[in-house]
Structures are given as C-alpha cells and as structure tokens.
Structure 1
C-alpha cells in the first residue's frame, strides 16, 4: 500500500514474504523450556511453508523471459530424477549429476535457479525401510554444519552490509524501507495469527499442545524475522535499480530486529506469568 503509487518500488512487494528459519528458530530457542516443543515445530513448519511460497514467487514474478527449449530440458532432468528415485537408488552421485543438469537448464530457461534446489530435494529418497537409511536425512546431517556455519554467515556478510551514516528517522520513512518494515513487523504477525485463528476455528488444524492464542501471536511476530531470505528477494527485485538496495537493507534490518525483540519479550513475559 505504501509503495502503490511510487513506480518501480512496487517491485519489492514480495520482500517481506519470507521468514529466515535459522534466525527465527534461534530466537525462539533462547527461551529454552519456557516454550513448548509444539511451538517450535509450529514455527519451523510456518517458516518452511513461508520460504517455499517465497521461492514460488521468485520463480513466477522475478524470472526473465522463458526459453522453452531449456524449459523442456529442465522437465526432462526432473523426470530423470524421478526415475532414479523410483528405482530406489540410495547413492548420491546420480542425484548430484542429474541435479547439476537440472540447475543449469533451470537457470537457462529464465526461471530463477533456486527452484531447482526445491525440485531436487523432492526427488531424494526419504522413506526408511527395515535395516535401511534415509538418503535425505543423511545428506541433511552432512550438509547442516556447512550451511549453518559457512553458507548462511557468508550470505549474511555479503548482503547485509549497509552504511548507517546519515540514516535518520526521515530515511526510514521513505517508501521502500517503511513498506518493508511494516510488512515484516505488522503484516506478518497479523497474517500468521489470522490464518492460524481461522484454521483452528474452522477445524482445519489443531491448537499446538500446551499453547494458547497469545503464544501463537508471539510466534507470528517472530515470522517477521526475514533477514537473509528477504535480502535475497530484495536483490532480485531491484537487481537493475541499486539506488533502492540500501533502503531494502535498512527496512529488512529494522523490521527483522523489531520482530525478534517484540516476539521474544512477549513470549518471555507470557511464559514467566505462567
């Protein structure tokens, strides 16, 4: 709404849509046993669905003109992965090889290549039979340390750098950072709470065990921690308009920090009262 009549800044509409799983779960974990395990699972599920939605948005709204030949080859690579899965292959090498082709063809097709990672993950075997193992869980166990202590910090370091020199309240009130801040802090918590409320009241879902509405609202606030994913979407939105990138970073930083502190202290107060 804030950026509706400001021309190309409307391209950043999807920036607040994603949730940074690592940071949001990290903040909730600071509360330790004060919050039930069900709330952590609830936040994890929300964040995963959130990020999948963001990736779909990237694929449809931030991709270039489609190249249909590469699109066909991309689908062919996906079918090859499904066949490998169907034959019950538990070696990673065939998935890696087909996945590299999938990534290349996706990139060349005009669809953002991040979608290839999601597609590849969907084809890696997860079911565990007797005296067998889950290849997906094994890969997750191997890759988790590299992602948590290598890729994520490097991504944050490369994308979050912004000079705060000359930043004032007036700077924060410009359309881009203000829109992002409001989307992350107000939009996410209200959207998550209303969706959760309607889902539970309409019997589509159940209230997490040992939780209540105020705790659900607190978790909703934590989904406003966009940070790395929001910065990623921001880079795509303004890839040819670098003048707005500092505004994106300031908006994401302020919105994420505000959500982290507000969500943490609300849940802390509620837990202590109990």
Structure 2
C-alpha cells in the first residue's frame, strides 16, 4: 500500500505541467552547486571525460556527447512529431489559424538575432547569433501553468503554436549553419535510409523492428555526415505512420521531459563560474544573449503580431489582450534548453560555451521573473 501511494503521488506530480519547469530549475541549481564546490572540477570532468575506444567506432565519445548527440535526438523526434501533428490537425493546420503564431515566431527569432548581431558583429562571437532566437517550450508552458487562470487557455495554445514554429526554425538553423563539412558518403547513406523508410510506409508495413533499426542507421549516417545528429530525430518523425503519432507522443512525453531534458540540464550546466562571475557577464557575447532573449523576444513577437492584426491578416486569440500577449512574449524569452544547445554547437571553446550558458541562464531567469510579474499584474485585466 505505501508503495502504491508513493507511485500514485509521483505520477500525479509528473502529470502537473508545472513540475517540468520546477525540475529543470532544480537540476540547473544542483549542477551549478556541484560544479562550484571545492572539488567541483571532478563533477564537470565526469560529463566531459573522453571514451576514445568509442570514438574509433565513429560514435559520440563522452557522456556529454552521448546526451547532446544521442539522447537529444529523441527530444527532437518528439518535437518533430508535435510539429507534424500541429500541421495536420492543430493550430497550424490552416492559414487562418497559423498566420498569427507563425508571424509572432518569425518576429521572435529575427529581432533577438538582430540584437545579438549588433553587439557581436565582426567579433569571434558572431557565430552565436541563433542562441537568443530559441524558446524552451516545456519550460515556458510550465511557468505559464504556475500562473493559473492569469494565463487564458487560448494564450497557452498560442504560446504552444509559437514555440513549435520556433523549434522548427531552430531545427532548420542547426541543419544549415551549425554542422561540420559535409561527408557525401554518409549523406548518401542517410538518403538511402530515408528512401527505405518511405517504401515501408508505402507498403503500409506495421511499425516494428525494421523501422527502429533503420531509424538507428539514419542517426548513425546523419551523425557522421556533418549535419547535426538531432536532425535525424526530426526526419524520423516524418517517416513514421501518421496513425502512430498520438501513441508515440504519449509514450515519449515522460521519458523526454523527466529524464532526457533533466540529464541535458545537469550535463550542460556543469559550469565552473569564474571568481568575477558578474564581471564575466559584461561582454558583447553576454549582452547580446541577455538582451536578445529578454528584450528581443517580446518586442519581436509583439511587433510581428501587431503588423498582421493591423493589416487584418489575423486576430488576437479569444479573450487575450495585448498586455497578456506581451506576457507571452516574456515567456518566450525563456531560452534554456534550445539556447544552451545552440551555444554548444556555435562555439568550440569550452570557456566561451560556459560564458554563453551563464548568459542564457541569467536571461531565462530574468524572463521568468518579468513574465510572472507582468502576467500577475495584467493577467486578469
């Protein structure tokens, strides 16, 4: 009986959308504390320790790499299925439904990237322009849930659609700008695997072991092709039968949000802060990221939304005011998972990666505070 009660309590907690944001915050704080203890270097080195014998098999060669290039493929597989389902039957299934969140997402990516570029044009940090252009969908919706009725359901739906388009934009950016020199042999291998998966679907073959084996082969080919491995997860999401989308999304929701993403947070926020951490933030890299997420996101979303509404191409979601939409803009400034992920891809130097990660954390916490204060004040008005 006690075991059943505990199991039911844990399941109820996991079903609460607020728990995802709380878990990610907890993992981040824990990882930062462990990394900055007296012997914190051992904790940071644990995630980054090299496994050279695995590297010879053309596979990820550290725990951190296995999380970022392996487990995160499942995260992007889930994101790909969400994008696909929204385009089929959700808020993005028609032009009239999609135009407002699509415009808002584009504005919310372009303005932060522009702000970042203003600070870093011509510097060695210029390649990180996409870091502040991303939104953490799980985190932002988790914080929205903490605010209860101050965030109308229609605003949450808008934020979800916006974040999904944002994810799609991030996936395209990763594929086009953050890969390595293309290896034609592996790229052709990936194309062959995609063709085989397409043929299996055309034959209406029941999803099974062959799909899984081809999916693993697709990941291996993409990982070695020069295109980032996570793109394989999105491609595979479009190769599975449409009838399986709901089932797979349901099965992967808990493992992704309560295991893979927390592991990503633990591994990628194992940052040893410098003695003058505040001073380290006073750089063009940090200011570009912080202002891009905290200011650029809401400004871009509001400006793009205002333009399409003013030109009568779209209308505001039902029972949502402009002030509440601005609050959604602050929520979209919570970059966290996606922004940290792009920071790792953008810079090869671990010290610069850490500086960018700290800036993302500062920006995300600031965005959380601003969103909660703003929506608590304007949420009922």
Aligned partner of 1:184 in structure 2 is: 293
Aligned partner of 2:119 in structure 1 is: 2
Aligned partner of 2:92 in structure 1 is: none
Q: How does 1:141-160 map to 2 (within 5 A)?
A: 141-160=250-269
Task: Give the distance between the partners of 2:201 and 2:156, measured in 1 at CA.
Answer: 31
Deviation at 1:87, TM superposition (A): 2.8
Aligned partner of 1:77 in structure 2 is: 193
Task: Give the distance between the partners of 1:271 and 1:190, measured in 2 at CA.
Answer: 18
Contact 1:90 1:135 in 2 (8 A): no
Q: How does 1:105-144 map to 2 (within 5 A)?
A: 105-126=221-242, 134-144=243-253
The correspondence for 2:354, drawn from 224, 233, 246, is 246
Q: Is residue 321 of structure 2 the alignment partner of residue 212 of structure 1?
A: yes
Aligned partner of 1:259 in structure 2 is: 367
Task: Give the distance between the partners of 2:259 and 2:128, measured in 1 at CA.
Answer: 28
Per-residue CA deviation, residues 162-209 of structure 1 (Å, 9 max, x unaligned), is 234524543222111111111111111111111222233334433111
RMSD (Å), alpha carbons: 1.6
Contact 2:193 2:214 in 1 (8 A): yes
Q: Is residue 317 of structure 2 the alignment partner of residue 201 of structure 1?
A: no
Task: Give the distance between the partners of 2:304 and 2:195, measured in 1 at CA.
Answer: 35
Aligned residues: 264
Task: Give the distance between the partners of 1:92 and 1:195, measured in 2 at CA.
Answer: 44
The correspondence for 2:135, drawn from 15, 19, 43, is 19
Aligned partner of 2:169 in structure 1 is: 53
Task: Give the distance between the partners of 2:167 and 2:311, measured in 1 at CA.
Answer: 25
Which consecutive residues of structure 1, in runs of 5 or more, have no partner in the other structure? 127-133
Which consecutive residues of structure 2, in runs of 5 or more, have no partner in the other structure? 1-117
Contact 2:207 2:241 in 1 (8 A): no
Contact 1:11 1:237 in 2 (8 A): yes
Aligned partner of 2:338 in structure 1 is: 229
Q: TM-score, normalised by structure 2?
A: 0.66
Moved more, 33-42 or 196-205: 196-205
Contact 1:16 1:226 in 2 (8 A): yes
Contact 1:188 1:224 in 2 (8 A): yes
Contact 2:274 2:280 in 1 (8 A): no
Q: TM-score, normalised by structure 1?
A: 0.91
Task: Give the distance between the partners of 2:313 and 2:240, measured in 1 at CA.
Answer: 29
Deviation at 1:271, TM superposition (A): 2.0
